[in-house]
Amino acid sequence: MSTTSDSTTTSTTTTSSSRHETAVVLPANLHARPAGQLARAAAAFTSAIQLEYADRTVNPTGVLAVMGLGATAGSSVTVRAEGHDAEQAVTALAEILAGAE
C-alpha cells in the first residue's frame, strides 16, 4: 500500500508600484528624432508609460505613435508612468521632451 501526498505551495509577492506624472512644454515640434529617442528610452523601462497631448494618449515605445500625436512647439505634453521605475521613466522622457530640437 502506498500513499501519495500532494502539497502545493503558494507564494504571494507584494510589489510596490508607483504612479508619476509631469507636463512638459515642447521647445520644438515633436518630429522623428525626438520621437525615436523617446521610443528607445521608454522601451528600457518596465513601467507602463503613456504620453498625452490634445486628448490623445499613446504608448511612447512606438515612434509612429509618438509622431502621430502631432505635438507642436509651445504645446504641453503629459508624461505618465505606473510601475516600479515610474519616477525614473517620467524623468527620462521629460528630459528628452524638454531638450527636443
The catalytic site residues sit at 31
Cell numbers that stand for 47 in this block = 513601467
Instruction: Give the whole-angstrom CA distance, residue 32 versus residue 19.
Output: 28
Instruction: Give the whole-angstrom CA distance, residue 39 versus residue 65.
Output: 9
